[in-house]
Amino acid sequence: MNLEPKEAAALLRDRLAPVIAGLNVLNEENPYGIFNRHDKVHIEAVHQMAHLLLDDYEYQTGDTLSPQDRIIASAIAYIHDIGNNISRRQHSEFSALMFTGLFENYKPTDPRVQSIIRGIVTHDEPVGERFKSMLDIRDNNSNLAWQAILAVIAADKLDISRHRLSTALAEELAATSQEIIEKVPHTLTVLYAANDVLNFFLGDGGFCADWHIDFSTDASLEPNPELREILEKFIRKFEDISVPATWHDSYKNPAELTSHPYVSSYLTTMMRLYCVRTAMLLSSLYTLLPDLKSFTITVEDRRDFTPYELSVRLDRETWPLALFVYWKNANQQAYKQGRIEVPPILQAGEEMYQQGKQRKLKQSP
């Protein structure tokens, strides 16, 4: 903790190298059914993005974070997924336990240590979704380095591109597209996100962000021919577009096939699958970056090298409502029958939804 931030990051890389190497083995053997990679590439991507977000925090607030804050962010980024070596389920808790075993000479009561453990544990969606706001992770502990924690959580949620697809999973699940979707639905999103880029810019209303996802359906744009051979085992081909069977069956109308028919399906599927993930992302970003006014998710299809875009805009004031509606639509029957509880991270959106219904009732004749 007394090192300079760059020295601390180098020490973390060196100390954790054997453990992170184990995550690469998981991608090959897939003993826990992991649908995507949590390897060195992902960890480095999270580390880099977290510090870029902290740079933005300093720029927007005028606050200067301490070297300790930067070290805490690096520690969370490098350690957050190593628990996958033990189990995919509750992997964040196992990551925290491994941290306590790998590093010595620290006091559990040290706020810096508490910040690292809190960040590691809460990055996982089954844990993070329990908070109504990601700022609630402080739990009345004002000494926690919340900026570092939220930056890593946001960075982790932003990394969804195709490099994370586990080839071992694709080999294991060689049946039909429907089986893939039912067993590991997140594979769809990871498979079709060729790459993703987060851009910040000044737009209408102030400071904005665009999460640009390249949805490439053209076979010639597939970057890995060997991977394509595996994927063809469970993807139905239609002309030059390779899509899941359920998407293909839903869009047989020839009129719709004259343009980019699957972009809307992809974006809707992604939003429904990742509504909790996106809620954690936006709660973290909007807390961390006070000047951020809007966050747009843009999906681009470059089939025939003719760009086509479709976007979902999630503004600071209304994003909870939008994400709750996606969640409700994905869980319609269970929600209507009271068989499923709304995750706390989406409850603000439910409250906005119910308030809107009440206003409509009052306005009706």
**Domain locations in the chain?**
5-158, 162-316, 318-365
What CATH architecture does domain 5-158 belong to? Orthogonal Bundle (1.10)
| Of 121 and 38, more confident | 121
pLDDT on residue 251: 54
Query: At residue 87, does pLDDT exceed 50?
Result: yes
State yes or no: pLDDT of 245 exceeds 50.
yes
Rounded to 5 degrees, φ, ψ at 201 are -160, 160
Mean pLDDT for 26-32 is: 54
What integer pLDDT is reported at residue 174 of this predicted model? 45
Tell me: pLDDT of 238 over 50: no
Residue 345 has pLDDT above 60, yes or no: yes
> What pTM was estimated for this model as a whole?
0.85
Q: Is the pLDDT of residue 259 over 70?
A: no
Q: State the pLDDT at residue 235.
A: 43
Cα 13 from Cα 221, distance rounded (Å): 33
Whether the predicted pLDDT of 285 surpasses 90: yes
Q: Considering the chain, what percentage of its residues have pLDDT values greater than 90?
A: 39
Per-residue model confidence (pLDDT) at position 163: 67
- Average confidence (pLDDT) over 289-303: 88
**Mean pLDDT score, 161-179:** 56
Our measurement of the distance from residue 279's CA atom to the centroid of its chain's CA atoms, rounded to an integer in Å, reads 9
Helix (H, G, I), strand (E, B) or coil at 320: helix
3-state SS class at 36: strand
Distance separating alpha carbons of residues 6 and 234, to the nearest angstrom: 44
**Contact yes or no for 293/208 (Cβ under 8 A):** yes
Lowest pLDDT segment from 32-36, 132-136, 269-273: 32-36
pLDDT tier at 172, thresholds 50, 70, 90 = low
What pLDDT does 21 receive?
A: 79
- pLDDT at position 239, please? 35
Pair 112, 144: CB distance under 8 Å = no
Instruction: Check if the beta carbon of residue 186 is closer than 8 Å to that of residue 38.
Output: no
